[in-house]
């Protein structure tokens, strides 16, 4: 067997292993193959494919990630996520895939929750995060989703403020600083974006990729925590799409 060079995950930066059976490098830290894609099973019984797959070998030097991403566990260090939603008897479930279609985890909502309460699990079924919505008595009240990581600390919040007959969403970091506002130029039911105060793109959520409302893609820029981007997409999806089918 040839000696292989040490290589690092192109997604999360941890060391990868070569799996002879799959003829590919695999990251056990974020559960990601490095050079091939897998079809995604959808709730409608169809197979969806990841848009494009980077089939270059994983790097021999540890890739540099934005410094504040490095405190995250590997599942929350990706630049892109594919999400498939299913509505089950016990509540909504979102499956988290990486860009090439490997399952990385699951987000499970509680059906009896008034405010929207979600738990995030990794591929080993370990609880890695929570999104907790505050209950609203009326549709026009402010709505807040608080984001907590697996060890408990508050990581950020998603706040929906109701004004002029529409809801405007804002993102806050762990220190309660406003970090994101909607890109008002792009606000369709199939695509939405958050920008910082200078108008730089923070993240985009795109439902057009798969042409079904229960699947979407999240693209994360280097200036926002992927964990917050993921939580935002789930919270918004749940708010706007839970009642329409
Ligand atoms: Zn990885």
Mean pLDDT by 10 residues, the chain (245 residues): 85 96 95 88 66 85 92 95 83 90 92 78 95 77 90 91 80 95 74 91 82 80 96 87 52
32 CA distance to ligand 1 centroid (A)?
A: 6
Tally the domains of the chain: 1
Residue 244 pLDDT:
43
123 CA distance to ligand 1 centroid (A)?
A: 12
Residue 239 pLDDT:
80
65 is a domain residue: no
Q: Is 5 exposed, middle or buried (0-12, 13-18, 19+ CB in 10 A)?
A: exposed
181 CA distance to ligand 1 centroid (A)?
A: 30
| Type and span of the H or E element at 29 | none
* Residue 95 to residue 84: CA distance in whole angstroms: 5
Q: Using an 8 Å Cβ cutoff, are 117 and 108 in contact?
A: no
143 is a domain residue: yes
43 CA distance to ligand 1 centroid (A)?
A: 26
Domain that holds residue 141: 74-241
Residue 55 pLDDT:
87
CATH of the domain at 140: 3.20.90.10
242 CA distance to ligand 1 centroid (A)?
A: 32
Phi, psi (5° rounding) for residue 133? Answer: -90, 140
36 is a domain residue: no
130 CA distance to ligand 1 centroid (A)?
A: 21
Q: Using an 8 Å Cβ cutoff, are 109 and 235 in contact?
A: no
8 is a domain residue: no
Q: What is the pTM of this model?
A: 0.89
92 CA distance to ligand 1 centroid (A)?
A: 27
Residue 237 pLDDT:
85
129 is a domain residue: yes
| Type and span of the H or E element at 41 | strand 40-41
33 CA distance to ligand 1 centroid (A)?
A: 8
Please list, in sequence order, all residues whose beta carbon lies within 8 angstroms of the beta carbon of residue 49, skipping any fewer than 6 positions away.
37, 39, 40, 101
60 is a domain residue: no
213 CA distance to ligand 1 centroid (A)?
A: 28
108 CA distance to ligand 1 centroid (A)?
A: 23
115 CA distance to ligand 1 centroid (A)?
A: 33
30 CA distance to ligand 1 centroid (A)?
A: 4
Residue 63 pLDDT:
93
Residue 113 pLDDT:
62
151 is a domain residue: yes
13 is a domain residue: no
């Amino acid at each position: 067997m040839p000696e292989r060079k040490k290589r690092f995950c192109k997604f999360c930066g941890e060391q990868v292993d070569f799996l002879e059976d799959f003829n590919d490098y695999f990251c056990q830290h974020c559960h990601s193959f490095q050079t091939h894609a897998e079809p995604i099973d959808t709730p409608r019984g169809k197979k969806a494919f990841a848009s494009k797959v980077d089939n270059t070998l994983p790097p021999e030097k540890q890739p540099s990630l934005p410094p504040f991403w490095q405190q995250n566990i590997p599942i929350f260090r990706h630049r892109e996520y594919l999400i498939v939603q299913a509505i089950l008897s016990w509540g909504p479930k979102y499956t988290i895939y990486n860009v090439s279609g490997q399952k990385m985890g699951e987000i499970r909502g509680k059906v009896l929750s008034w405010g929207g309460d979600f738990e995030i699990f990794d591929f080993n079924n370990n609880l890695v995060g929570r999104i907790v919505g505050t209950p609203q008595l009326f549709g026009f009240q402010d709505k807040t989703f608080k984001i907590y990581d697996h060890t408990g600390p508050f990581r950020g919040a998603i706040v929906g403020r109701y004004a002029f007959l529409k809801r405007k969403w804002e993102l806050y970091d762990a220190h309660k600083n406003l970090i994101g506002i909607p890109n008002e130029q792009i606000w369709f039911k199939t695509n939405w974006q958050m920008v910082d105060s200078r108008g730089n793109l923070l993240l985009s959520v795109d439902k057009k990729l798969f042409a079904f409302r229960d699947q979407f893609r999240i693209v994360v820029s280097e200036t926002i925590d992927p964990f917050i981007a993921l939580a935002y997409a789930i919270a918004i999806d749940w708010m706007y799409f839970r009642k329409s089918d």
